[in-house]
Structure 1
Amino acid sequence: MSVNGPLLRDHCDLRSVATSPLLSVYSEDLGRQVGWNTVFLAQYVGPLLIYLVFYLRLASVYDDATKRRRHQVVDLACFCHSLHYMKHLLETLFVHSVSDGCTPLGSLLKVCAFYWGFTCWLGYYINHPLYTPPYYSGKQVIPSLVCFLICECGNLCINISLARHKQTRNELTHPTSTSNPFTWLFTLVHCPQYTYEIGAWLALSIMTQTVPVAVFAGLLTVQMLLWARRRQGRYLRKVKNARRFWRTAVIPFLF
């Protein structure tokens, strides 16, 4: 085994690994580690609480003299943002099977800096007393809100379907659609959970018509496209029923 060889599991019997005298096992100090469950909880709890600080318009955030009555879209944006992260928190606790492994502390800091930092940026602008509502008002807000709620429901259904698929220990087959219409996207893309996640953030950016949300949605879209392509590659290498010429990674018929 080379120095850059595969890592061993946290709990491993060396006798089951070192089956040959030519095999070498190297040790390496990985530094401070944190569990994945901690990473996901910090990733979602932070934005949920930070956004509410701006929504409540505390005196230390905005000048009291500039306080005005909130536009309805500001209340809807807070509802959507809170719903999104509360859903992710509940999924982390009750749906996903979080790995027992660990990740470097630096990864946790990077994730928190990204999500918490962008939440401060978009929360400040959306909840600012001088915030300007979307140009087309209700004609722009209502369809975006409906699209957001559909994507959130779809993402939840896909995550539940993936969790059940793993619980059956049937990882060698591609998840298939069920009677639930939200799962029918499995027939077109390999990673519909990312499709719905991207759709939700794009809908929120249109609903609020703010640059910070659009930038955040764009960066998340790029990242999820990369994740989807990697997962698609694993499906195509290991799963027989994953090969369908019309099935793309995340955007039907395109990507």
Structure 2
Amino acid sequence: MKLLVQTASGKELVAGGIAVQPSDSVEDLQKQLQRRKSQYHPSRQRLSLQPAPGEKRGQVLAPGTRLAEYNLQEGQVLIFKDLGPQVGYATVYFWEYFGPLMVYALLFYRRDIFYPAFRSKLQPQTLTQQLAFAFWTFHFTKRILETYFVHKFSHGTMPLRNLFKNCSYYWSFAAFVGYFLNHPLYTPPGLKQTYIALAFAMIWQLANFRCHLILASLRGSSSKGYQIPRGFLFEYVTCANYMCEVFAWVCFAISVQTLAVFIFIGAGGAQMCVWAQGKHRRLRKMFDGQDGRPKYPRRWIMLPPFF
């Protein structure tokens, strides 16, 4: 059968359409499209069905599925969108997490460069500053290791611009937080406060790791389709991984008692709230209890008891 490929404006992308078999995969279709339009690598292609009445966008054809699953008919129109230059998720995550490690380390080890006015009277860092550096290093090292050994991505790539956007956020905040935490005039709170708050921060970090393992196990069950996250904190919170992340950084901020860290988690937490609300909405829509589908249980979105 032949499928017609058009842009959102209705312009025909491939004259005469593309001949496929129902047993072909979405990747097979994308490769054929690339043969006809060499500038569109499969990673740049998003193919979707025409939107149903009342919908803004049709169902996206997911890589790894057979065309037969979409009940496509002879002459059916698919909508094409060029996603632009792409880069692998793991590559983006590595650089956005490796940067903060290096930026903070520079500020920690080379204070003579970044605080020239205090060069002649620099004192060794306080224990709180040393523990803060250890926690920061642990967190972003954990992130890098999770990227390669835990996370399973639903998409192989993302737009190249995200590499620069994400790195700008993480690297600039690393410089912002690191500058004030390593400043010669930094005054730490009492060590008891630092110890207790950092202990709780580490507990939340380990809880976050447990949440990531649960989410990775769901990605590995592709034959069952998407599932409702269950177990551990997911029994109570939709985005338990985000909750643990926020609580860990709040505890860290208390342990060092620096406004810069509160600003950092405020910016990151606000973005996570947006992502969490979207995911919660999608899960409730996907698991609506209709036509044999399970009903999504009542849960907090991200930050109980507030959100």
Q: TM-score range by the shorter chain?
A: 0.7 to 0.9
Matches of 1:27 and 1:155, distance apart in 2? 35
- Paired position in structure 2 for 1:217: 265
Q: Which moved more, 1:46-55 or 1:62-71?
A: 62-71
> Which of 62, 74, 88 is the aligned partner of 1:20?
74
Matches within 5 A, 1:141-220: 141-169=194-222, 170-177=224-231, 183=232, 185-220=233-268
CA contact (8 A) 2:150 2:213 kept: yes
Q: Specify the code of the residue in structure 1 equivalent to 2:303.
A: I
TM-score, normalised by the number of residues in structure 1: 0.86
Matches of 1:19 and 1:91, distance apart in 2? 42
CA contact (8 A) 2:128 2:256 kept: yes
Q: Specify the code of the residue in structure 1 equivalent to 2:255.
A: M
CA contact (8 A) 1:31 1:104 kept: yes
Measure how far apart 1:21 and its partner are: 2.0
Q: Specify the code of the residue in structure 1 equivalent to 2:279.
A: R
Matches of 1:22 and 1:172, distance apart in 2? 27
**Greater C-alpha radius of gyration:** 2
CA contact (8 A) 1:188 1:253 kept: no
Matches of 1:16 and 1:243, distance apart in 2? 25
Q: Which moved more, 1:30-39 or 1:111-120?
A: 30-39
Q: Provide closer, same or farther for how the CA distance between residues 16 and 147 of structure 1 changes in structure 2, counting only shifts above 3 A.
A: closer
Q: Which moved more, 1:9-18 or 1:207-216?
A: 9-18
Matches of 1:129 and 1:8, distance apart in 2? 56
CA contact (8 A) 2:242 2:272 kept: yes
State the SS of the aligned residue for 1:59: helix
Q: Does 1:244 align with 2:292?
A: no
Q: Which has the higher helix share?
A: 1
- The percent identity for this pair of structures is 31
Q: Mind listing any 5+ residue stretches in structure 2 that lack a counterpart?
A: 1-5, 9-56
- Paired position in structure 2 for 1:111: 166
Q: Which moved more, 1:15-24 or 1:105-114?
A: 15-24
Q: Specify the code of the residue in structure 2 equivalent to 1:160.
A: L
The Cα offsets for residues 168-223 of structure 1, whole Å up to 9 and x where unpaired, read as: 3344432222xxxxx2x222111110110001111111111112111011111111
State the SS of the aligned residue for 1:60: helix
CA contact (8 A) 2:201 2:247 kept: yes
- Paired position in structure 1 for 2:129: 74
Measure how far apart 1:25 and its partner are: 4.6
Q: Which moved more, 1:100-109 or 1:189-198?
A: 100-109
Q: Provide closer, same or farther for how the CA distance between residues 128 and 253 of structure 1 changes in structure 2, counting only shifts above 3 A.
A: closer
Matches of 2:175 and 2:225, distance apart in 1? 39
Measure how far apart 1:62 and its partner are: 2.5
Matches of 2:258 and 2:166, distance apart in 1? 23
The Cα offsets for residues 206-255 of structure 1, whole Å up to 9 and x where unpaired, read as: 1111121110111111111111111111211123556333x111122431
Measure how far apart 1:126 and its partner are: 0.4
- Greater relative contact order, per chain length (Cα 8 Å cut-off, separation 6+): 1
Measure how far apart 1:146 and its partner are: 1.2
Q: Does 1:42 align with 2:95?
A: yes
Q: Mind listing any 5+ residue stretches in structure 1 that lack a counterpart?
A: 178-182
Q: CA RMSD in A?
A: 2.5
Matches of 1:91 and 1:237, distance apart in 2? 29
Matches of 1:39 and 1:173, distance apart in 2? 26
Measure how far apart 1:66 and its partner are: 3.4
